Amino acid sequence: MPVAKSVGARIKRREDPRLIQGLATYVDDLQLPGMCYVAFVRSPHAHAKIQSIDTSAASALDGVVSVVTGADVNPDVGGVPCAATDFPNVQVPEHPVLAEDKVRFVGEPLAAVVAVDRYVAQDAVDLVEVDYDPLEAVSDAEAALEPGSVKLYDHFDSNQAFTWDLEGGDVDAGLKEADRVISQRFIHQRLAPNPIEPRGVAADFNAGDEQLTLWSSTQIPHILRTQVALMIGLNENRVRVIAPEVGGGFGCKLNVYAEEAVLGHLAKKLERPVKWMESRRENFLHTIHGRDQLGDVEIGMKNDGTITTLKYNVVADVGSYFQLLTPAIPTLTGLMLCGCYQIRNVSMHLRAAFTNKMSTDAYRGAGRPEATYIVERIVDCVADELGLDPLEVRRKNFIVKDSFPYETGTGLSYDSGDYTIALDKALKNADYEGLRKKQAELRDEGRYLGIGLSTYAEICGMGPSAAMPAGGWESGTVRVDPTGKVTVLTGIKPHGQGQETTFAQLIADGLGVDVDDVKIVHGDTDSVQYGTGTFGSRGTAVGGTAMIMAMEKVKKKVKKFAAHMLEANIDDIELEDDRYVVKGNPERGVSLADVSGHAHRGIDMPEDTEPGLAESHFFEPSNFTYPFGTHIAVVEVDKDTGEVDIQRYVAVDDVGNIINPMIVEGQIHGGIVQGLGQALYEEVIYDESGQVLTGTFMDYTMPKAHFFPRFELDNTVTPTPVNPMGVKGVGEAGTIGSTPAIVNAVIDALKPFGVRHIDMPLRPEKLWRLMNGGESS
Amino acid sequence: MIPGTFDYHAPKTLKKAVSLLNEHEDAKILAGGHSLIPLMKLRFAAPAVVIDIGRVSGISRIRISDGHIQIGALTTHHTIGSNARLRRVCPVLPETANEIGDLQVRNRGTLGGSVVHADPAADWPAAMMALRASFEVAGPSGTREVSASDFFVDMMTTTIGDGEILSQIRIPEPPAGSGSAYAKMHQSASGFAITGVAAQLTLDESGNVSAAGVGVTGVAPIAYTASAVEDALVGKAPDEGAIAAAAALAADGVQDANEDHHASGEYRMHLATVLASRALASAAERAKS
Amino acid sequence: MKITGTHQISAARDRVFTVLTDPECLARVMPGCKGLESTGDGAYSIHLAAGVGPIKGEYAGTVQLTDIEAPSSYRMLVDAKGKTGFVKGEGKVELVEDGDATTVIYEGDVTLGGPVAAVGQRMHSSAAKLMTRQLFGAIEAEATAEEGEDVKHSIIRNTLRGLRSK
């Protein structure tokens, strides 16, 4: 059998049987004796003073256990934390878990009801009388930065949350050097992450043990534990966080929310278990949103298509408060502005604005989709300006294969890449020449086919701790039980990424056991050593590496035992299938179970060797990883209706080595759909007064499977040198790569109508107007 | 789903349902539950009594006899969408059914529930207008029949009284030489119609239109009959030119067109003309074959 | 949300103005009005059971009429809240004589807040127009009611006539 018998195989996800059969345990499945339900009173106003809160009617309702307001809770519970406040001109707002004097966005919680069931709790919420004094609200980020705008925080100078500048090379010199300069405004509309399982928290305090157990649908159990302990004033070792089955997160559960601390506090105060499940409507209002930048780009170019400079002047709408990583997100846009191109002169001037909206934070891609969208739209704009094929402009500016590791203008060091091979493969798979021919033919018939390219590069495997707001390392422990079964404890928190399968594949091959003999434990801070969590396409690239390093330590010890047991030299022991054998003498061998049994018996130990068989490793990555690829979208736009028909979607992604192709494809499928969601459908709309107009799936378009054709996926493999497995991460690639491909395709289709740019989402009416002599409204 | 408190009844006969409805104040009928339950979940509707007619027998059948298609009010979209005979006799019905929501919605939602709810963007009302449907309404003092054009009064408002239940939908069986079709643009989030046009054409022996029915939904507060389109086609051969000229009148006389962030009123009115033309073209094609 | 339009009522301007500004008449013509009481200076406290079809919400608040230039114009401010959210509106109403009839020109801005804003977006404008139709149907009925005629019957007649005319 080959060494890599499991890695690289399309093994079905081991998580799926329990999910499909309804056997998984989510927060909402938890039932504890005497459990109460919590419901929150939330502001219907975007901006208002709270004059008074009358909880008497709610408290008097049969079945209500407690009603608390900010005045009751805030003295005992610290504010919602932010881990990234080190920015120029920063103004950090206090962020109480329950608003006390003022509410600043629709959906902000200001009181909590505890009742015997969730129906009574909701009835009681309706009985809490709040007297608001509504204030003028500001929901437009640019307007919020105007002098004289209504201010969210009276004691701040303005609504400017912070600023941030980045410059590489000399952008003004780049402008002078240019033959032509064009500018374009890009809007990255606000999106709602919308995991299938909304947030949920349960808490139980054992007064005898002085122990709080907090179940939360989170991506970061360890960070949450630290923060909740600090917020509610318990020693960290008295708080156990369990993230049970988590139904998706997309970054919105990479956070610490008010409800998590309030539930912990209430459980402790009432000494009764409490639970809160977020409704979808609450999720739209009070779970972080993504994107929401608008900015102007100036591009200098040579007549041959060489981009000489890129200047991005941007306003980021961060909403009303800082959540865990709010300020850090738009900076990732700056770092990735050059994409896969040799743009030596690049700058970003960022101003962040407080507005009367929910905070923005990490949503799948987190700052990088914005960068990719800008740079991939720009190369098309340059091609359009110069009358070149967008393909040629890309080739002209690509970072070339021999220059890796490549230092970008923004100060990053790209690990490895070969952008041309992915592009060539995608062109071949799509039959690019044939498509262009077909496009010309159809145009003669009055039909509008568009072909859009996106040759993205993205930053994954987050990341070196020095570059991260809250640590970038990851932990792993590999334990071999006396019977030879393997338990892995990982600091990441998979919530759909399939690491219970891929990690088991790695261990199975690495230690010579069956995949089904490996158990992956995650998401319980009392079981698992401290870790960082799952986000930023880091689970396998960083968490997997920590596990592999721990496994190598175990393996070294196994070999030591095997050598001892087989009376051979340790250097002569090698793993052959599922046996540790003596080189050149394969009939002399032991299994992992043999070794582990011996190691746990504790007698006849090799010299200087401890009994047992478990090792841990904390892995600090030396760099990020940089996956890349080419996506090609083919669309036809109906001139009579403006509807976009996605005819083909061809993607060639390079995410380094692949452990399980099926899981990688699944990640890319989902990613593409979310990217296309932004391009065509999704938008969180706040009106001028700060009211959310898209508070249900009747109004906010969640992309559905039947909107899309079968994606034609392929890949190239350029391993990263950053980790021993050579994996780059794939969680966000599809989302980052796909948005500009489809927008470029639609704009390409509308080229005969003189269209150079259209803002997302590309609603049919907008396109119909552009194709029929009107302005896009 | 965290609604307010309500009493629940599940009668087995229509008569019992009607009497329960008349015994209780603030009672609502629950059919497939795809309009009422979401409203109750949001507490936008909080009826004191819910009368679930899901177990009422005799109102979920499709019968074609005596020159009529009779569809029980409780018939699900899926049942209509998958009915082979309807596909031959009156294709616009299964075509409309299959454009509604998604499979889960079609498996639960009912024709009667949809028309009684009278959502301005619902699909069924267009077909009901085009096919000149009539509605049998059961009340405490017997049943009455209402034509589609009288049934829909305004947005989410029908002539059904507080104590009445829709029991049957009756549609004249299309004569030989008829064809029908539904053309729709979906609102991407909800799947409701931004605009939907149902059309039925009957051709005489010389191939000219002898009767036309065109219903439009999504554009105005209630679905309407595009009589200008119908009048323009009768007596003419349904060729491309005639259809285009007629379809151009599909939004004639519409005031107060619906608008939201998915589509302006102007765009909906434009779509009515485009979709009318498409629905008529395929109805004509079917009528000829 | 902007609400603008004109509506012709076949009644004399003085009569229409009275219907629009007299609290007793207003209470009868406002859709879903369950109570309207003067609190002085052109201000009224109001209790509405407003809704469309099965969607119902009770709202309590104030209506204020200002800048009254009888019988040609006034401004109106509405501020009401209920469990499903709140509504705030401000607008100008002008009455222009048109032979025996009166043309009412209205222009206003309505803000919805809370749950009703977040979940009903696709219905907002249609619902506002529906209520405007109901209001004018009722005004017409009130203004043109013959002595002793059942006003309610007249409302339905006029509403239906309004719709059919399209």
Residue C9: pLDDT over 50: yes
Please check whether residues A448 and A321 belong to one and the same domain.
Answer: yes
Q: Measured between CB atoms, which of A44, A685, A694 is closest to C113?
A: A44
Q: For the segment B188-244, what is each residue's pLDDT rounded down to a tens digit?
A: 999 999 999 999 999 999 999 999 999 999 999 999 999 999 999 999 999 999 999
Q: Measured between CB atoms, which of A45, A694, A698 is closest to C113?
A: A45
Residue C146 has a pLDDT of 62
Helix (H) or strand (E) holding A299: strand A290-301
- Options 3.50.50.60, 3.30.465.10, 3.40.50.2300, 3.40.50.300; CATH of B62-172: 3.30.465.10
DSSP 3-state of B289: coil
Q: Which amino acid is at A355?
A: T
- Within 8 A of A687 by CB-CB distance, chain C residues are 111, 117
Please check whether residues A574 and A627 belong to one and the same domain.
Answer: no
- Cβ within 8 Å, pair C129-B221: yes
Phi, psi values for residue A41, rounded to 5°: -90, 125
Distance from CA of A15 to the nearest CA of C (A): 35
Tell whether B132 is within 8 A of chain A (Cβ): no
Sign of CA dihedral A283, A286, A290, A293: positive
Residue A357 in domain: yes
Query: Which residue in chain A has the smallest CA separation from C79?
Result: A134
- Cβ within 8 Å, pair A698-B189: yes
Residue C157: pLDDT over 60: no
Please check whether residues A261 and A401 belong to one and the same domain.
Answer: no
Please check whether residues A399 and A478 belong to one and the same domain.
Answer: no
For residues C36 and A296, the model is more confident at A296
> Across the A/C interface, how many CB contacts are shorter than 8 Å?
49
Residue C73 in domain: yes
Residue C117 has a pLDDT of 87
Preferred mutation among C59, C87, C121 to probe A, highest tally of A CBs within 10 A: C121
Q: What angle is formed at CA A763 by the lines to CA A758 and CA A769, rounded to 5 degrees?
A: 70
Residue A172 in domain: no
- Number of structural domains (chain A) is 3
Q: For the segment A732-747, what is each residue's pLDDT rounded down to a tens digit?
A: 999 999 999 999 999 9
Distance from CA of A119 to the nearest CA of B (A): 6
- Cβ within 8 Å, pair A697-B4: no
Distance from CA of A700 to the nearest CA of C (A): 10
Q: What does the radius of gyration of chain C's CA atoms come to, in whole angstroms?
A: 15
Residue C148: pLDDT over 80: no
The pLDDT-based confidence of C126 (bands split at 50, 70, 90) is confident
Q: For the segment A159-192, what is each residue's pLDDT rounded down to a tens digit?
A: 999 999 999 999 999 999 999 999 999 999 999 9
Residue A28 in domain: no
- Within 8 A of B156 by CB-CB distance, chain C residues are 52-55
Q: For B77-104, what is the mean pLDDT? A: 97
| DSSP 3-state percent helix, strand, coil across chain B (nearest 5) | 35, 30, 40
Residue C83 has a pLDDT of 87
Residue C127 in domain: yes
Calpha distance B123→B99 (Å, rounded): 8
Residue C161 has a pLDDT of 45
Residue A374: pLDDT over 90: yes
Residue C60 in domain: no
**Domain carrying residue A418:** 290-463+623-771
Please check whether residues A357 and A426 belong to one and the same domain.
Answer: yes
Residue C20 in domain: yes
Please check whether residues A300 and A215 belong to one and the same domain.
Answer: no
Percent of chain A predicted with pLDDT > 70: 99
Complex ipTM: 0.96
Please check whether residues A435 and A494 belong to one and the same domain.
Answer: no
Structure tokens, A448: 């509008």
Distance from CA of A526 to the nearest CA of B (A): 34
Residue C21 in domain: yes
> Across the B/C interface, how many CB contacts are shorter than 8 Å?
75
- Cβ within 8 Å, pair B154-C54: no
- Cβ within 8 Å, pair C85-A698: no
- Within 8 A of B258 by CB-CB distance, chain C residues are 122, 125-126
Q: Residue A312: which of A320, A326, A300 has the closest Cα?
A: A300
For residues A73 and C31, the model is more confident at A73
**Domain carrying residue C105:** 2-31+65-164
Q: For A282-288, what is the mean pLDDT? A: 97
- Within 8 A of C55 by CB-CB distance, chain B residues are 39, 44-45, 156
Name the segment(s) of chain B with CATH classification 3.30.390.50. Answer: 178-288
Could you tell me the CATH number of the domain that includes residue A119? 3.90.1170.50
Phi, psi values for residue A645, rounded to 5°: -105, 115
Cβ atoms of residues A450 and A747 within 8 Å: yes
Partner C, chain A 108-167, Cβ-Cβ below 8 Å: 126
For residues C18 and A375, the model is more confident at A375
Out of A587, A619, A651, pick the residue that ends a domain: A619
Residue A199: pLDDT over 70: yes
Q: What angle is formed at CA B77 by the lines to CA B82 and CA B86, rounded to 5 degrees?
A: 40
- Cβ within 8 Å, pair A691-C113: yes
Residue A707: pLDDT over 60: yes
Query: Which residue in chain A has the smallest CA separation from C85?
Result: A44
Residue A535 in domain: yes
- Cβ within 8 Å, pair A119-B188: no
Residue B103: pLDDT over 60: yes
Q: Measured between CB atoms, which of C114, C115, C122 is closest to A699?
A: C122
Residue B160 has a pLDDT of 95
Distance from CA of A649 to the nearest CA of B (A): 20
Residue A5: pLDDT over 90: no
Q: For the segment A95-134, what is each residue's pLDDT rounded down to a tens digit?
A: 999 999 999 999 999 999 999 999 999 999 999 999 999 9
Q: Measured between CB atoms, which of A106, A281, A699 is closest to C121?
A: A699
Name the segment(s) of chain B with CATH classification 3.30.465.10. Answer: 62-172
Of A589-593, B155-159, C82-86, give the lowest mean pLDDT range.
C82-86
Contacts of A587 (CB under 8 A, 6+ apart): A581
Mean residue pLDDT of chain A comes to 96
Preferred mutation among B41, B102, B267 to probe A, highest tally of A CBs within 10 A: B267
Calpha distance A685→A500 (Å, rounded): 38
The pLDDT-based confidence of A681 (bands split at 50, 70, 90) is very high
Q: Residue A482: which of A564, A610, A598 has the closest Cα?
A: A598
- Number of structural domains (chain C) is 1
Q: For B149-157, what is the mean pLDDT? A: 93
Counting other chains too, the contacts that A204-213 makes at CB distance below 8 Å and 24 or more residues apart are A204/A32, A204/A267, A204/A273, A204/A274, A205/A264, A205/A267, A205/A268, A205/A271, A207/A271, A210/A234, A210/A238, A211/A238, A211/A239, A211/A240, A212/A238, A212/A239, A212/A240, A212/A264, A212/A267, A212/A268, A213/A240, A213/A241, A213/A242
Preferred mutation among C81, C88, C111, C119 to probe A, highest tally of A CBs within 10 A: C119
Q: Measured between CB atoms, which of A640, A685, A694 is closest to B274?
A: A640
Tell whether B6 is within 8 A of chain A (Cβ): no
Distance from CA of A284 to the nearest CA of C (A): 9
Q: For A557-569, what is the mean pLDDT? A: 97
Please check whether residues A264 and A339 belong to one and the same domain.
Answer: no
Distance from CA of A28 to the nearest CA of C (A): 24
Tell whether B274 is within 8 A of chain A (Cβ): yes
Q: Measured between CB atoms, which of A44, A685, A696 is closest to C119?
A: A696
Residue C151 has a pLDDT of 53
Please check whether residues A272 and A203 belong to one and the same domain.
Answer: yes
Q: For C55-74, what is the mean pLDDT? A: 90
Cβ atoms of residues A290 and A101 within 8 Å: no
**Domain boundaries B178-288, corresponding CATH code:** 3.30.390.50
Cβ atoms of residues A627 and A760 within 8 Å: no
Residue C91 in domain: yes
Neighbour tally for C26: CB within 10 Å: 23
- Cβ within 8 Å, pair A281-C83: no
Q: What angle is formed at CA B54 by the lines to CA B50 and CA B60, rounded to 5 degrees?
A: 140
Residue A363 in domain: yes
Helix (H) or strand (E) holding A222: helix A221-232
Distance from CA of A646 to the nearest CA of B (A): 14
- Cβ within 8 Å, pair C115-A692: no
- Within 8 A of A356 by CB-CB distance, chain C residues are none
For residues A218 and B256, the model is more confident at A218
Please check whether residues A419 and A506 belong to one and the same domain.
Answer: no
Could you tell me the CATH number of the domain that includes residue C94? 3.30.530.20
Fold of B7-51: 3.30.43
Distance from CA of A685 to the nearest CA of B (A): 9
Please check whether residues A615 and A628 belong to one and the same domain.
Answer: no
Q: Residue B16: exposed, middle, or buried by beta-carbon count in 10 A (0-12, 13-18, 19+)? A: middle
Name the segment(s) of chain B with CATH classification 3.30.43. Answer: 7-51
Please check whether residues A79 and A218 belong to one and the same domain.
Answer: yes
Q: Which amino acid is at A311?
A: K
Q: For A11-31, what is the mean pLDDT? A: 97
Neighbour tally for A176: CB within 10 Å: 12
The pLDDT-based confidence of C125 (bands split at 50, 70, 90) is confident
